[in-house]
């Protein structure tokens, strides 16, 4: 299992995550920031647990983020 944590408040909307993992990331039409699909918010961070098969794309999404607000961890 893999956990993704995302600090949306610091997102600049570069879409690097969306390009790497379009099934898990979307751009908000209302404010241009990205959304982590299926996540829940807690204290300003959005969290979701994903399967191993989504790990490579989301690791690339994390690496593409210029403000480094996407954290990926296996557990």
pLDDT digits (tens, 9 = 90+) for 14-24: 999 999 999 99
- The pTM of this model reads 0.94
Q: Write the burial class of residue 60 (CB in 10 Å: 0-12 exposed, 13-18 middle, 19+ buried).
A: middle
Q: Which residues lie across from 34 on neighbouring strands?
A: 27
Of residues 17, 22, 15, the one with CA closest to residue 59? 17
Q: In the chain, how many domains are there?
A: 1
CATH number at residue 22: 3.30.70.20
pLDDT digits (tens, 9 = 90+) for 26-63: 999 999 999 999 999 999 999 999 999 999 999 999 99
Instruction: Give residue 25's pLDDT.
Output: 98
CB 28, CB 35: distance < 8 Å:
yes
- Residue 55 belongs to what domain range? 2-74
CB 7, CB 42: distance < 8 Å:
no
């Amino acid at each position: 299992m893999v956990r993704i944590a995302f600090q949306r408040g610091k997102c600049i909307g570069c879409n690097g995550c969306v390009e790497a993992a379009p099934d898990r990331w979307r751009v908000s039409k209302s404010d241009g920031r990205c959304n982590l699909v299926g996540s829940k918010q807690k204290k300003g961070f959005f969290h979701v647990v994903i399967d191993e098969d989504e790990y490579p794309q989301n690791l690339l999404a994390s690496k593409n983020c210029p403000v480094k607000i996407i954290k990926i961890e296996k557990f």
